[in-house]
Amino acid sequence: MQPTVIINQHRNTAIIVATSGKNLLVIKLAKGKLTVTPLSLEKIKVQGYITSNYSPKLAAQSYLQHGAGVSERARKYLEKIACSNFSDSLILS
């Protein structure tokens, strides 16, 4: 799975980190501890998210420094992305 940064009209950002069945596993930047949330592609679109050209590697590095903390599961995904050489974007269709 190609990690992808997504953003909505409210400038909320998230990273799609993996797939699980029909869902995408997403880490949303939020005020509390960052966690992995399964969301369908339809729910992502309903929430107004579109793909961003921002580097998943840079986003992951930033998310790892989140002041409220990062769950262990989210940390594993983010560390893998931060140390990888994925291309910078994926187009959701």
* pLDDT given at position 85: 72
Domain boundaries, the chain: 4-82
| Residue 43 neighbours by CB distance under 10 Å | 14
From CA 89, how far away is CA 52, in angstroms rounded? 7
Looking up tokens 């990062």, which residue turns up? Answer: 70
Confidence of residue 93 (pLDDT cuts 50, 70, 90): very low
pTM more than 0.85: yes
pLDDT tens-digit profile of 47-88?
999 999 999 999 999 999 999 999 999 999 999 999 987 655
Closest CA to 63 of 92, 23, 36, 91: 36
Q: What percent of the chain has pLDDT over 70?
A: 91
DSSP 32: S
Closest CA to 72 of 19, 36, 39: 36
* pLDDT given at position 84: 84
